[in-house]
Amino acid sequence: MKKNKFVIVGAGSSYTPAIVAVLLARRDDLKLQEIALYDIDADRVARTGRFCELYAREHAQGVQVSYTTEIETAFRGADFLFVQIRPGCNQQREQDEKIPLRHGILGQETCGLGGFSFALRCIPAILEIVGKAQEICPDAWILNYSNPEAMISEAIYRTYPHAKALCICDMPISQEETIADFLGIPHKDLTFKYFGLNHFGWFTNIYDKEGRDLLPALRERVLSDPSVRLVNAEAEEKHDNYWGEMYAHAIEGFRAYPEFFPLVYLSYYYFHNEMVAHMDPGYTRANYVLDVREKVVFDDCERCIAAGTTKDSALHAGVHGNYIVDIANAIINNTHERFIINTMNRGAIGNFNHDAVVEVPCYVSAGGIEPVSVGYIPQFHKSLMEAQKGYEKLAVEAALTGSYQKALQAVLLNRTVPSYAVGKAVLDELMEANQGYWPALK
Residues forming beta bridges with residue 166, ordered by sequence position:
143
- ω into 124 cis (within 30 of 0): no
DSSP conformational letter for 441: P
> What stretch of H or E contains 109?
none
Task: Classify the phi-psi angles of 435: left when phi > 0, otherwise alpha if psi is within -120 to 50, otherwise beta.
Answer: beta
- Strand order through the sheet with 32-38: 64-68, 32-38, 4-9, 80-83, 141-144, 165-168, 337-344, 357-365, 368-371
> Cβ distance 63 to 75 under 8 Å?
no
Write a three-state SS string for 428-439.
Answer: HHHHHHCCCCCC
Calpha distance 33→77 (Å, rounded): 11
Task: Classify the phi-psi angles of 191: left when phi > 0, otherwise alpha if psi is within -120 to 50, otherwise beta.
Answer: beta
Quick one: CA torsion of 224, 225, 226, 227, rounded to 10 degrees? -170
DSSP string, 344-405: E-TTSBTTS-TTSEEEEEEEEETTEEEEPP-B---HHHHHHHHHHHHHHHHHHHHHHH--HH
DSSP conformational letter for 341: E
Q: Are strands 80-83 and 141-144 parallel, antiparallel or unpaired?
A: parallel
DSSP conformational letter for 104: T
Calpha distance 347→96 (Å, rounded): 34
User: Which residues are designated catalytic?
Assistant: 170, 265
